[in-house]
Amino acid sequence: MRIGISVCSNYPVRDPRLGARYMVERARAARQADLDSLFVGDHHVVPTPYYQNNAILGRMLAEWHNKPAGALYLLPLWHPVLLAEQIGTLAAVMEGRFIMQCGLGGDPRQSAGMGVDMKHRVAMFTDALHIMRSLWAGETVTHQRFWNIENARINPVPDHEIEVWVGASVPAAIQRTAKLAEGWLAAPNLDLRGAAEQLNRYQQALAEHNKQPTAVGLRRDIYIGATSQEAAKLKQQYLQKGYRGFSEDALMVGSVQEVAAQMAEFGQLGYTDVIVRNISSDQGEALATIERLAEVAQQLS
């Protein structure tokens, strides 16, 4: 079982420098904990500071090591040539492999703010992925369906294949993921039973396409307390506030031993990666959780 982290990008702070500092500190803590991967998310036209992925990831990579890193991209919201260039640059400045997590994006306000027609998002997703892979292979691309692209090439071209993981939950999206991507990310709101059911659906889709994934990932919101009692108390505090609309069973909360046991259950199902996201917005609690992930990894090894 590999443990990665998706560092929160949204911080409702008065001084934008503070949120950026928090992200850098969490990346540094993730390296010190020797986590297996580092990611940031993707969101646009939001009312509170949200640190845009390519820019902040470039800074965070200075704190990272030679293990994989990357970002989530809601592909229909991006021009594929620009994004292929940005990822080519990030791949050139980092020591490890770049992994592109991606999804469709389902927020109508976000799509409207970015000038994207929601009804085309599936086709835009598949076309963007094809265009970017062609550009990363050093090919010249012309495309007229959604973007007026004429004889585009990019430099620098990544010196390794960009691995693609897709977040998908509905049957059609899981089927598309098995066909197009190297890895899959299950939704963070699943309980153990739901995670098993969706993994089974993904495995069936892989068999239909005769594919072997590089990663079978699960996103999980997490808090690791110094004791079980401390962790349970914080969990109830966030649930009472309606934390992201998640059920209690979808949160990975407990002591080091309890969290290791929960991760082991997902490993037994067939998941290869858990990508965690801090539940607590308190920086001290978030950093303590990241530090304790090193102990979790030791127990899983």
Tell me whether residue 238 is in a domain: no
The tens digit of pLDDT for each residue in 210-235 reads 999 999 999 999 999 999 999 999 99
Q: Is residue 301 part of a domain?
A: no
pLDDT band at 79 (very low <50, low <70, confident <90, very high): very high
- Spatial distance between the Cα atoms of 198 and 291, rounded to a whole number of angstroms: 30
By residue range, what is the domain housing residue 136? 2-217
Give residue 106's pLDDT.
83
Cα 299 from chain centroid (whole Å): 24
* The model's pTM: 0.96
153-159 long-range CB contacts below 8 Å, 24 or more apart?
Answer: 154/81, 154/84, 154/85, 154/88, 155/88, 156/88, 156/89, 156/91, 156/92, 157/88, 158/87, 158/88, 158/91, 158/92, 158/98, 159/91, 159/92
Tally of domains within the chain: 1
CATH code for the domain of 195? 3.20.20.30
Q: Do the domain assignments include residue 229?
A: no
In this predicted structure, what is the pLDDT of residue 283?
98
Is residue 160 a part of any domain in this protein? yes
pLDDT in tens, 143-202: 999 999 999 999 999 999 999 999 999 999 999 999 999 999 999 999 999 999 999 999
198 located within any domain: yes
